[in-house]
Amino acid sequence: MSNEEKSKLALFEGREIRKAFHDGEWWFSIIDVVETLVGGERPRKCWSDLKKKLIAEGYFEVSEKIGQLKMVAPNGKQRLTDCANTETIFRVIQ
């Protein structure tokens, strides 16, 4: 797989979600997924609150399966971003 194929944007409901190929599978930006689901209203704050809620409810396995990968930020710079594989993204959405 070429480098270009390893880091692309996915589209969900017309919105771009950053993704990267890591450890043999696709990982997606959680912030981008949250922004798509809740609209443009402070996705980082929503994700922070959701992460705290998941941990408080005992869903430690979700937080343990979240990693930080470097992805291109809106300003064009590489930034560490909370990411998850497909399985974990679906758990977060639930």
Total domains present in the chain: 1
The predicted pLDDT at position 54 comes to 80
**Residue range of the domain that includes 12:** 3-93
Query: What's the pLDDT band for 31 if we cut at 50, 70, 90?
Result: very high
What pLDDT shows up at residue 70?
94
Is residue 53 within 8 A of residue 36, CB to CB? The reply is no
pLDDT digits (tens, 9 = 90+) for 46-75: 989 888 888 888 777 777 788 999 998 888
Q: How many C-beta neighbours within 10 Å does residue 65 have?
A: 14
Q: Which residues contact 55 (CB under 8 A, 6 or more apart)?
A: 63
Would the pLDDT of 35 be above 80? Answer: yes
Between 38 and 4, the more confident residue is 38
Kindly report the CATH number assigned to the domain that includes residue 77: 3.10.260
